[in-house]
Structure 1
Amino acid sequence: MSPSSDPAGGRGTGPATASASRAESTDPVRALLLRGGRVAGPTGTAVRDVLVVGAQVVAVDADLPGVRLPGVPVTEVDLAGRLVLPALVDQHSHPTGGGGGGGPHTQNLPIRFEQYTTAGIGTVVGCLGHDTVVRTHEALLARVRALRAQGLTGYLFTGEIGHPPATLTGDVRRDLALFDEVRGVKAAVGEVGAVGTVDELRRLAGAVARGSRTGGKPPVLHLHLGPDRRGVDLVARAVADGLVPAAMVTVTHVNWNPDVLAAAIDLAHAGVGVDVTACIRPDYFPGAVPPHRAVAELLDRVPVEQVTVTSDAGGAHPHDGALVPHRPVLLLDVLRHCLADRVAPPHLLAAVFAGNAARRLGLTGVGTVTPGGRADLLVVDGSGREPITLLLGGRTVVEAGVPTVTDPVGDPPAPDPVEAPV
């Protein structure tokens, strides 16, 4: 896309552009007609034109005629056959920074707005991990609201690795009932100090179900797995006994190793969601299943609607005496490899990287490219090699890999490296 294609009225970087994004509702309405892209729909991918007016997709059709809207400027852009996917939905990230398990010097920094957008991410669900002393739910909620103000769709999970969990209000049910931003509970199994018995898991699931009903949202229990089978086996017992409804559970980090992945496949057959983690890869964690290969194996063996991929951005791992941070762009790397290896047709990858998570979390308007939805659109070439363009709410925030909207605070970091599939 060219600079003139920006429905917000032009390009810019730095605080001025971020301020403009916060005042988006006062900007004049503009329209964008994307022609000739290969649009990933619910059942397939086909060449379609996409009309965006303001923040919404209003039409997707094989050959839209020239559009004239009284008082609304319309810009046409030829996508020349590039893929149009929904912006990625990252349902497991640490926007306030993760890590810290090795002492204060191992704490990672907060994640900037443009680090998410240059990774093709339009929706972020933040969570906490081992550290709920320095990093609190209050700080996480504030960071989510800051990302929302800049244009991302942002939510969070209450809870943590430890059990009983730290929360915003002191009670899982109150968090779910009182805060729209809270879309579920993160907990852990198979870790020291985590949920350790079927009865503990049952009680936690009951609290999630009751709080979610009160808050008018689907019950979501997002479970961190450790690198051995103990956690998976505990979940399997709880689901098999009927004590925890499978449909409310997602297990994440399923690609720690082939043994955990195989056990997670069995859980998926019982109805549990299975989530591949982009930063769990052999060069970071020896013995891990490469994320794109884990996606391929899962899609070969379980229903596509059970499979998601997340970044787990914000953590870090030690390497040669230094800490290697886990960036949101790792999620885009997995998508690129899936496209290059033709792991699945683009419309199924759109479900795995966006639609399935949105559906499980009860989010409407994101995760699909359909009329009436929010215009969060990821434009990428079919091979996964070229720079991306990203629209959020109809506004171009990344163009040809370069962020056009940046965080208003602090100096922007060097661009995150993007791995081109070979």
Structure 2
Amino acid sequence: MTQTHKTYHRQQRGSPRRQTSSSPNETYQMIVLSGGKVYGILPDPANNNNSHTSEPRFVDVVVAGTKILTLLEPSKTHSFIDGLRSNSIKVLRINVENQIIMPGLIDVHVHAIGGGGEQGPYSRTPESRLSQLISAGLTTIVGILGTDGITRSLLSLLQKLKSLEYDGLSTFMWTGSYRMPIVTVTGSLHSDLLLVDKVIGAGEIALSDHRSSWPNFDELVHLISDARVSGMLSGKAGVIHFHLGSSPSRLDLLWKILNETTIPIRQMYLTHMASRGELLIDEAKRWLKQGGVCDFTADSDEQNETATIDTLNTFRNQKLPLSQITVSSDAYGSLPEYDREGRLISYGMSLPVFTLKTIQNLVLKYQWPIEEAIQFSTANPAKYLNFNKKGFIAIDYDADILILNQTDLTPLYVLGKGQILKTPTWIKRDMFEHIS
């Protein structure tokens, strides 16, 4: 863990606002999170009950390096720590008595270098900031381009994601943007998936939207087939992340692909499915019943939205397969609203905290069990997108851990790959965030 603290000290030296008293300030080799109730524990495959997570338990979580070393019964923690210290192993014990310990959040749709621009150059949204992502409980993000695949570049996105990775987050990306033929890093979707480690698929390709390039059947079949084959060769998900608009055509092309080819439905990953009206929500229901996966965009505070929360409540009551749903923030993407004539009438920006707020609303307002509410941004995306060793609290899994206040579900601590990124009184910031 020594390198973690070198990072803290480097940042403090460059900042006029030192936080030495509240940030971790001594080297250690292990962290023990004690006293909390752990949610998102990887289920025992021997139970064979198809559950995504086990029942929550009061166990202590031991972190060594970037991984979860073990889960301890609390009665054994004191002697375990004494044994380590007797062997000159430095241990940081963090008492989180009765608070919630859970996997860090995975956000599959983050405009990390900004987005927007639909109202002209001045309406381009700003790029992501490290402290905002951490404050939102995010430990893994998938970066994406959107409407603008011309002045926003995949190379810039890739470099930004490398920066966030250096600072403790785990990062991946979609190649392409709204339009086809897609923009790529290397010249083709095949080579992007095979040669660029962070690329897991293509997106967000716009369908049934006035900003789409309106691809035809053959173009989509070739794109999805390329992603599938390249995914197989690279060991990645190899899916196409489709942005759905509110045009009457909705999913017509995708249903046609399913009916006329042998392409599996899970190669197509649909987003914005709860926020484009009742007809698209009905399509989402049908898609899930056929075995497909849908992503819901978290409701925006700026526009007083409730579409995603309402849809999740409805789908739960109807006993639809919630394990096939993810929730993402669309962070730093624009929030344009148009009238019937296509004129822009309002404009805003999504924030990374919207994903966490979805969990808070489900639990605090609608009394969802925590283990059900967190799956949309932990277990579900981890399994679907082949993020091995993420999305659960388990031995040898990445130490991406979020600790929430048991009363209001606000983040107390955030750990990314074993690094402490947030405490109740301190948060890690990128190199230039202190500059006003």
**TM-score using structure 2 length:** 0.83
- Deviation at 1:321? 8.8
CA shift in 2, pair 1:14/1:259, >3 Å: farther
**2:299/2:358 contact within 8 Å kept:** no
Q: Over the residues paired in the alignment, what is the CA RMSD in angstroms?
A: 2.8
* Aligned position for 1:191: 209
1:36-88 CA-partner distances (Å, limit 9, x unpaired): 21111222212211111222111113333322322321222222211111100
Deviates more, 1:371-380 or 1:7-16: 7-16
CA shift in 2, pair 1:237/1:297, >3 Å: farther
2:95 corresponds to 1:82:
no
Residues in 2 aligned to 1:304 and 1:14: alpha-carbon distance in whole angstroms? 43
Secondary structure, in 3 states, of the residue corresponding to 1:368? coil
* Aligned position for 2:226: 207
- Deviation at 1:289? 4.4
- Aligned 1:93-172 pairs, distance under 5 A: 93-172=110-189
Q: 1:15 aligns with which of 8, 11, 31?
A: 11
**1:202/1:243 contact within 8 Å kept:** no
Q: 1:350 aligns with which of 370, 374, 378?
A: 374
CA shift in 2, pair 1:71/1:294, >3 Å: farther
2:37 corresponds to 1:38:
yes
**1:337/1:384 contact within 8 Å kept:** no
Q: 1:263 aligns with which of 277, 283, 290?
A: 283
**1:128/1:160 contact within 8 Å kept:** yes
Aligned length: 398
Q: 2:77 aligns with which of 65, 76, 80?
A: 65
Residues in 2 aligned to 1:273 and 1:344: alpha-carbon distance in whole angstroms? 21
Rg larger in structure: 2
2:294 corresponds to 1:277:
no
* Aligned position for 2:49: none
Residues in 2 aligned to 1:230 and 1:335: alpha-carbon distance in whole angstroms? 32
1:90-139 CA-partner distances (Å, limit 9, x unpaired): 01110000101221000011101111110000001001011011101111
* Aligned position for 1:308: 326
CA shift in 2, pair 1:183/1:352, >3 Å: same
2:355 corresponds to 1:336:
no
Residues in 2 aligned to 1:264 and 1:271: alpha-carbon distance in whole angstroms? 11
CA shift in 2, pair 1:231/1:322, >3 Å: closer
Q: 2:191 aligns with which of 153, 169, 174?
A: 174
**2:27/2:90 contact within 8 Å kept:** no
CA shift in 2, pair 1:202/1:88, >3 Å: same
Residues in 1 aligned to 2:120 and 2:251: alpha-carbon distance in whole angstroms? 29
- Deviation at 1:308? 0.5
Residues in 2 aligned to 1:161 and 1:318: alpha-carbon distance in whole angstroms? 15
* Aligned position for 1:417: none
Provide structure 2 residue ranges, at least 5 long, that are not aligned to the other structure. Answer: 16-25, 42-52, 338-343
CA shift in 2, pair 1:407/1:18, >3 Å: farther
Output the amino acid matched with 1:249. Answer: M
**1:14/1:406 contact within 8 Å kept:** no
Percent identity of paired positions between Structure 1 and Structure 2: 24
Deviates more, 1:240-249 or 1:267-276: 240-249
Residues in 2 aligned to 1:237 and 1:135: alpha-carbon distance in whole angstroms? 32
* Aligned position for 1:420: none
Secondary structure, in 3 states, of the residue corresponding to 1:326? coil
- Deviation at 1:298? 3.1
- Deviation at 1:8? 4.5
2:271 corresponds to 1:252:
yes
Secondary structure, in 3 states, of the residue corresponding to 1:367? coil
Residues in 1 aligned to 2:386 and 2:251: alpha-carbon distance in whole angstroms? 25
Deviates more, 1:206-215 or 1:57-66: 57-66
Secondary structure, in 3 states, of the residue corresponding to 1:206? helix
**2:359/2:374 contact within 8 Å kept:** no
Deviates more, 1:74-83 or 1:93-102: 74-83
Secondary structure, in 3 states, of the residue corresponding to 2:375? helix
CA shift in 2, pair 1:229/1:91, >3 Å: farther
* Aligned position for 1:22: none
* Aligned position for 2:22: none
Residues in 2 aligned to 1:138 and 1:11: alpha-carbon distance in whole angstroms? 25
CA shift in 2, pair 1:332/1:231, >3 Å: same
Provide structure 1 residue ranges, at least 5 long, that are not aligned to the other structure. Answer: 20-26, 414-422
CA shift in 2, pair 1:18/1:359, >3 Å: farther
CA shift in 2, pair 1:307/1:223, >3 Å: same
Q: 2:432 aligns with which of 409, 414, 417?
A: 409
Secondary structure, in 3 states, of the residue corresponding to 2:273? coil
**TM-score using structure 1 length:** 0.86
Residues in 2 aligned to 1:183 and 1:346: alpha-carbon distance in whole angstroms? 29
- Deviation at 1:6? 11
* Aligned position for 1:390: 414
2:74 corresponds to 1:55:
no
* Aligned position for 1:24: none
